[in-house]
Amino acid sequence: MILTIAWREFRSLFLSPLAWVILAVVQLILAFMFLGHIEQYLIWQSRLLGMDDAPGLTEIIVAPLFGNAAIVLLLIVPLITMRLVSEERRNRTLSLLFSAPISMTEIVLGKYLGILLFLLLVLCMIALMPLSLHLGGGIDLGLFASGLLGLGLLLAGFAAIGLYMSTLTQHPTVAAISSFGALLLFWILDWSGEGTAGNGSVLAYLSLLNHYEPFLRGIFDSADAIFHLLFIATFLVLSIRHLDADRMGV
């Protein structure tokens, strides 16, 4: 049942130009950045050769690429998630789901999974770029995998917030702006602190950035992974609760 909803959600994305445009734009921008990083690497190459403990290809190209991808997708994910519930509410199609013999949890998970499927596609497209380097040069696959996992978890978190914001309103634009705002806030939460998750500040702990960076440095800390999972679960539960409350009409 969840899969049925997920699959329709995924297919509907591709029935409008939105998904294609998003894939194209993300790819174009990231490819441009990717090429920029490669060029930088070529400029630095001679100097790197002289250093003892020089950073490798992966650290110079792949890690910043994933870092940039996170920012770009922070802008893009709200645009994908905005329609999820709000548009159904607006077009009055939500009652189709509400009167079908399925639970609210299945509806929310189905929709979430549909978006995850799309984001997985985006992730694969991004991963292809560094992998192309592997043909010629050989990259640090461990670091690459850790970065990819981090990015995946981060995107899943973005999607969960986006889904929640979409349940709150019937205007997709409002959903997009509020989820963008929420994401940005979670991102910059720790700008003033400059701290890491370790120093005890709540803001530092809540900052998504602080839980993403270790992955880019190749550190897989299960605490960070669990933070992301909890983050996702929180917003999914909130979405389910909100849809239920909606039906109660409180």
C-alpha 116/C-alpha 159 separation (Å) is 7
- The verdict on 97 binding another protein (CB under 8 A) reads yes
Least separation in angstroms between CB 117 and another protein: 16
- The verdict on 17 binding another protein (CB under 8 A) reads no
Q: Pick from 42, 47, 50, 99: which binds another protein (CB under 8 A)? A: 99
- The verdict on 20 binding another protein (CB under 8 A) reads no
Q: Could you identify the residue written with the tokens 């043909």? A: 135
Render the burial of 12-35: b for 16+ CB within 10 Å, e for the rest: ebeeeeebeebbeebbeebeebbe
Which CB, 37 or 83, lies closer to another protein? 83
Q: Pick from 42, 52, 53, 101: which binds another protein (CB under 8 A)? A: 101
Helix (H/G/I), strand (E/B), else coil: 157:
helix
Least separation in angstroms between CB 47 and another protein: 54
- The verdict on 100 binding another protein (CB under 8 A) reads yes
User: How far, in Å, are 75, 149, 194, 204 from residue 201 at the CA level?
Assistant: 27, 25, 11, 5
Least separation in angstroms between CB 173 and another protein: 19
φ, ψ of residue 217 in degrees (nearest 5):
-85, 5
Residue type, 138: G
User: Who's near 73: CB < 8 A, 6+ residues apart?
Assistant: 26, 119, 122, 154, 155, 158
- The verdict on 102 binding another protein (CB under 8 A) reads yes
Contact range with another protein by CB under 8 A, out of 69-77, 89-97, 191-199, 203-211:
89-97
Q: What is the dihedral of CA 173, 231, 142, 121, to 10 degrees?
A: -30
- The verdict on 84 binding another protein (CB under 8 A) reads no
Which CB, 216 or 243, lies closer to another protein? 243
Least separation in angstroms between CB 238 and another protein: 19
- The verdict on 247 binding another protein (CB under 8 A) reads yes
Give 13's DSSP letter.
H
Where does this chain bind another protein (CB under 8 A)?
1, 4-5, 8, 12, 15-16, 91-103, 247-249
